[in-house]
Amino acid sequence: MAVSIIQGARIAGLVSCLPERREDTADLATRFGEATAARIAKATGIEARRLAAPDQCASDLAEAAARDLMDGLGWEPGAIDLLVFVSQTPDHVLPATACLLHRRLGLERRCAAFDLSLGCSGFVYGLWSVGALLATLPAGARALLLVGDTTSRLIDPLDRSVAPLFGDAAAAVALVRDGQAGPMTFDLGSDGAGAPYLMVPGGGMRRPAAEPAAPATLFMDGTQVFAFTLREVPRSIAATLEAAEWSIADVDHIVLHQANAQMIRHLGQRIGARPERMVLALADVGNTSSASIPLALTQALAATLTGPRADGGGCRLLLSGFGTGWSWGTVALACPPLAVCRTIALEEGGRSRPSPAPPFALDPDKTKS
């Protein structure tokens, strides 16, 4: 689509939420063998993943993130005008999970709530959708963008092409209608021809039964995913930078969908980015689908995004999500200092607590393997 520029929407805070359960390379070695598990970890940069408990859904992680964010900002439930939930692992076929979260968070009836069904591009699409809607509302209007997936529920634990890669997480983003906010510049696109290469064939209305011919587990053709990413993402980033009138050197931090380290390295080289500007924060969490970009922000850049800048401006971020669909989206924005930016963990049983950030690298070449 044509580049979209949104004025008047400002990010106020961000909280990510991880489940407590952790599975690492040693656990994978019991299923696939030590040599295979070590080889996968070295190639992907993923050494561990967080997995939701059997009774936890993406909505539970999103609710915990939203509550922590609202508390940190001092936002009352009655002051929120819009809630959007982005996920491909909803609680039910219907109703929309956003409506369930609306009730659980105690929001007022005048607050609009709806779902977006997108995966790895979902955070950028959600930011675009919420920003565009906020621009139509009065000054000071507030919105919650909630994103998250429990992709582990869709994984065959014996499928070595996906089991070592995907983890579970959610994030909550607070946005405010602010006429003084700088622009957010988006480039969005899709190509449905790629749908069969990253898909859960069964479980929907087309093939509701989980049969051998249509299993309700995730299938991924990694070669096709890699080729699509290298073809479309650099073009999307170039279009976004051109529309924003930025060069790649103007960007403080580049946060790509955290799919795997090798892919991020290749994309960084393709777009001519300095390695120290590239954020890599997937070693301890894996590919968390729609939550991967906000999770990378809270894991790797919390101190940067909450601290003042010497020039008084915002931190210049380039964010790009891409994957199932095919679907992709890139945004360039100057993020002002955030009042809240952190990661929490949700224990089994529902209690949340601060989660210490694991080691991460801004330079993919320095990531431990």
Q: What are 245-285's pLDDT values in tens digits?
A: 999 999 999 999 999 999 999 999 999 999 999 999 999 99
Contact 82, 98 (CB under 8 A): no
Residue % of the chain over a pLDDT of 70: 94
pLDDT of residue 313: 80
pLDDT of residue 308: 84
Domain CATH for 329: 3.40.47.10
pLDDT of residue 45: 97
Question: Is position 120 annotated as part of the catalytic site?
Answer: yes
pLDDT of residue 333: 98
Domain that holds residue 214: 4-366
Domain total of the chain: 1
Element (H, E) at 346: strand 340-346
Distance of alpha carbon 60 from the chain centroid:
16
d(CA 210, CA 214): 6
Q: Which residues pair with 341 in a beta bridge?
A: 14
Question: Is position 315 annotated as part of the catalytic site?
Answer: no
Catalytic entry in 57, 102, 111, 257? 257
Catalytic entry in 120, 315, 335, 341? 120
pLDDT of residue 95: 97
Q: What is the DSSP string of 26-71?
A: HHHHHHH-HHHHHHHHHHH---EEE---TT--HHHHHHHHHHHHHH
pTM given for the model: 0.94
Catalytic entry in 287, 315, 335, 341? 287
202 phi, psi to nearest 5 deg = -105, 165
pLDDT of residue 359: 46
> Which stretches of the chain score pLDDT less than 70?
1, 210, 350-369
How many other CB atoms are there within 10 angstroms of residue 76's CB atom?
Answer: 12
Tell me how far CA of residue 336 lies from CA of 210, 297, 353, in angstroms.
Answer: 47, 14, 26
d(CA 182, CA 160): 44
